Chains A and B, each alone.
Chain A
Amino acid sequence: MDRIRLTERPDWRTKAEAYGFPFHTIGGAVYWDETVAWRFSLREIEEDIETPTGELEQMCLAFVKEAMKHETILKQLDIPDAYWTFIRESWGRGDRNLYGRFDFAYNGKGPAKLLEYNADTPTSLFEAAVFQWTWLEEQMAAGKLPAGSDQFNSLHERLVAAFKNIRRGQNFLLHLASVADSVEDKATVAYLADCARQGGLETKELAIGDIGINGEGLFTDLDDALIQVLFKLYPWEWLFREEFAKNLPRCRTQFIEPPWKALLSTKGLLPMLWEMAPNHKNLLPSYFTQDPRAAQLGDRVEKPLHSREGANIRIIRASGEIESTPGDYGGPGIVQALAPVATFEGGHAIIGSWVVASEAAGIGIREDAGGITRDTARFVPHFIGG
């Protein structure tokens, strides 16, 4: 694994905009950065990332199965008890899941370590699935990268197949909802809608705030049509705490991601996995904040159960040195041992390893200055080459 400098494609901005990737530059700052690229060997990809990703997903599913039986776990994960039955029903019915992203610390020198699992509303999808892919094809065609280079990225193919399989090949109308004013979220939803249509589904996009409820307690869209299947780029932990959510248990809508994903899209998963498989090579020692063992970790990171885009994270070194990010997420939290991440020129890189329908599907890499990956990170493409 190494980081190389590369000539940018002269017209990549025009292409990004034509393809539906308007947030390639955010507030004047580069987000998509192809002046550099990460190179991996096939062994690193397959043995260090792809296989562990599949294994961790299996462990997560085993964990959810276990959590369904124990109220103490649901309580510890801070899931409001009004939704326990709602969650259990979605698991019991076998509601299928679409996607998720494991974030790994990995520098090629030891096993990848799980930092967190974005199991519910991961973004940075389009750039990983499509723009990174066209970058490789075009850079190979231009002779900037060796012909025969490859990339760990079957995201697009798998997303199309996963939508096709959500209801076992049955066609249906899929509603997709996101917050109205986020360019990135809307682009992510537009891309997923495109994948769903290629999988044979009919789609309709709407803002999460435009969802209505009818006299029978069922969710409706702006045309008063019933919402039977809803992809929501809006976290379960937020929905559960909103007044309107009282309609969820009786709504009969199938959700993507399904409600059982709420047990995985929390930092509380990390101490749970560590408890299940202590010393697993891809896990970091992690404890809930109030656990006395938390204090025994040396260099460590404190994270709230639910924070996004690197907010409210504190890195505490054994030396007493502290690095932290601002934010307004509070509530219970966890402590995790600090992992060695890939570093370069004072920055660091995190590997986002995707699963689609619970199978390893590819990676995207985000780089940031400092030790914490935030919404200021840059997306850097990767390739597999000798």
Chain B
Amino acid sequence: MKRSEVIALGAVGLLMTAALWPSNQQAIPAADPALKPGDGFQTLAFASLDECRASQAVTSQTCDLEFGKSEQVSVADAPKFEALTDCETEYGASQCRPATWNGASVFVPALAGVLIARSLTNAVAARSQPLYPPRTGPGVCPPGVSVAERPECAPRSSPSSSNSGSSGNRSSGGSYWFYSTGTGSTVGRTSTSSVADTVLPTRSTTSRTSVSRSTSFSSPSSSSSVSRSSTYSSPSSSTVSRGGFGSTSSAHSSGS
């Protein structure tokens, strides 16, 4: 899906929720009344089944079930490439594997983990999707954005260093792991917590063969405006002059 999943406005609240899951994806029911965006859910990224089972965040049965589903759908879900080199250009050296899809030989990124969404209000409701190694790419990071935060602005010559998708360190010192989803979104977590705290939509996947698309989890948007005391308004010495800006605007409209 190439559009926002949920839009909320402060003035009128939640406008609408786009269909969250495509109906053609068997592992994920198209309509799951147990898990609505408004409920509040938590997204967790697990590098392995063992880590999932050890986490206690979800039950072992859920881990088995969701990892099993992800393995089943990972070929259909993953971006597919006709040539190994094209796949490795996107995902880094040794991050791709051969697969068969609709009778054709293709290359797909290897499964690097599973993203599980669990409802905070309903213990059994969970959804999942496969995770792949972070995408690499050439180019310039926008100012202030580190490679750790946006792995695709890493130079192509330095592919991710391990199968878990570890890529770089955070400034705080903790190791930060990145993954990508089938639609090309970037998912991040720290090495010590499975809570996926970065689910950044990134550029979409354009693979060499046609692909069935899934959507990534997005954190539920809150429609309420934040009401808290103005903790950030520091008092200052009083203003000595005002109204200096804006003289050009009398002649023009400022937008473009």
Q: Do the two chains bind?
A: yes
**Which residues of A come within 8 Å of B, CB atoms?**
18-20, 42, 45-47, 50-51, 54, 58, 61-62, 65, 90-91, 93-97, 118, 120-124, 129-130, 133-134, 136-137, 150-158, 160-161, 165, 168, 171-173, 177-180, 182, 184-185, 188, 191, 194, 197-198, 200-202, 204, 207-216, 218, 220, 223-226, 228, 233-235, 238-239, 241-245, 247, 258, 260, 308-309, 328, 357-360, 362, 375, 384
Establish whether residues A157 and B201, one from each chain, have CB atoms under 8 Å apart when the complex forms.
Answer: yes
A23 shortest CB reach to chain B, Å = 11
Q: A204: which B residues are within 8 A, CB to CB? A: 233
Docked pose: A154 CA to B248 CA in angstroms: 33
* A229: nearest chain-B partner, CB-CB: B232
Docked pose: A6 CA to B248 CA in angstroms: 41
- Tell me whether A19 and B3 are in contact in the complex, defined as CB-CB below 8 angstroms, given that A214-B237, A223-B233, A234-B254 are known contacts: no
Establish whether residues A161 and B201, one from each chain, have CB atoms under 8 Å apart when the complex forms.
Answer: yes
Establish whether residues B254 and A233, one from each chain, have CB atoms under 8 Å apart when the complex forms.
Answer: yes
A221 shortest CB reach to chain B, Å = 8
Docked pose: A312 CA to B226 CA in angstroms: 43
- Tell me whether A122 and B202 are in contact in the complex, defined as CB-CB below 8 angstroms, given that A150-B3, A224-B238 are known contacts: no
* A122: nearest chain-B partner, CB-CB: B256
Establish whether residues A360 and B203, one from each chain, have CB atoms under 8 Å apart when the complex forms.
Answer: yes
Binds A, one of B9-17, B49-57, B59-67, B101-109: B9-17
Q: A94: which B residues are within 8 A, CB to CB? A: 143-145
Docked pose: A213 CA to B15 CA in angstroms: 40
| Complex partner residue of A185 from B12, B230, B254, CB under 8 angstroms | B254
Docked pose: A20 CA to B11 CA in angstroms: 8
19 cross-chain CB contacts under 8 A: A58-B139, A90-B143, A121-B254, A123-B256, A129-B4, A130-B15, A151-B2, A157-B6, A185-B255, A207-B246, A208-B245, A211-B245, A212-B240, A214-B237, A234-B246, A234-B249, A357-B142, A375-B253, A384-B2
What is the predominant secondary structure among interface residues of chain A facing chain B?
mixed
B174 shortest CB reach to chain A, Å = 14
Docked pose: A20 CA to B252 CA in angstroms: 23
B148 shortest CB reach to chain A, Å = 11
Docked pose: A45 CA to B145 CA in angstroms: 26
Kindly state the interface size class of chain B when it binds its partner: 35 or more
Interface presence of B209 (CB below 8 A): no
Establish whether residues A18 and B12, one from each chain, have CB atoms under 8 Å apart when the complex forms.
Answer: yes
Interface presence of B18 (CB below 8 A): yes
| Complex partner residue of A134 from B16, B228, B248, CB under 8 angstroms | B16
Docked pose: A215 CA to B240 CA in angstroms: 6
Q: A242: which B residues are within 8 A, CB to CB? A: 244-248
**Which residues of B come within 8 Å of A, CB atoms?**
1-12, 15-16, 18, 139-140, 142-145, 149, 200-204, 206, 218, 221-223, 225-226, 228, 230-249, 251-256
Q: How many A-B residue pairs have CB under 8 A?
A: 239
| Complex partner residue of B140 from A42, A61, A134, A191, CB under 8 angstroms | A61
Establish whether residues B254 and A198, one from each chain, have CB atoms under 8 Å apart when the complex forms.
Answer: no
* A124: nearest chain-B partner, CB-CB: B255
Q: A154-B4, A209-B243, A215-B240 are in contact. List 5 more A-B contacts (CB 8 A).
A: A121-B256, A182-B249, A202-B226, A209-B246, A212-B243
Establish whether residues A153 and B3, one from each chain, have CB atoms under 8 Å apart when the complex forms.
Answer: yes
- Tell me whether A173 and B232 are in contact in the complex, defined as CB-CB below 8 angstroms, given that A154-B4, A213-B244, A224-B239 are known contacts: yes
Docked pose: A96 CA to B104 CA in angstroms: 44
A386 shortest CB reach to chain B, Å = 12
Docked pose: A328 CA to B239 CA in angstroms: 34
Establish whether residues A130 and B9, one from each chain, have CB atoms under 8 Å apart when the complex forms.
Answer: yes
Establish whether residues A46 and B4, one from each chain, have CB atoms under 8 Å apart when the complex forms.
Answer: no
Docked pose: A243 CA to B242 CA in angstroms: 12
Establish whether residues B232 and A202, one from each chain, have CB atoms under 8 Å apart when the complex forms.
Answer: yes
Docked pose: A360 CA to B206 CA in angstroms: 13
Establish whether residues B245 and A19, one from each chain, have CB atoms under 8 Å apart when the complex forms.
Answer: no
B23 shortest CB reach to chain A, Å = 9
Docked pose: A156 CA to B237 CA in angstroms: 37
Establish whether residues B235 and A134, one from each chain, have CB atoms under 8 Å apart when the complex forms.
Answer: no
Establish whether residues A96 and B145, one from each chain, have CB atoms under 8 Å apart when the complex forms.
Answer: yes
B256 shortest CB reach to chain A, Å = 5
Establish whether residues B142 and A358, one from each chain, have CB atoms under 8 Å apart when the complex forms.
Answer: yes
Establish whether residues A91 and B143, one from each chain, have CB atoms under 8 Å apart when the complex forms.
Answer: yes
Q: B6: which A residues are within 8 A, CB to CB? A: 157
B40 shortest CB reach to chain A, Å = 14
| Complex partner residue of A20 from B9, B204, B239, B246, CB under 8 angstroms | B9
Establish whether residues A198 and B8, one from each chain, have CB atoms under 8 Å apart when the complex forms.
Answer: yes
Q: B202: which A residues are within 8 A, CB to CB? A: 359
* A213: nearest chain-B partner, CB-CB: B241
Establish whether residues A150 and B9, one from each chain, have CB atoms under 8 Å apart when the complex forms.
Answer: no
* A265: nearest chain-B partner, CB-CB: B256
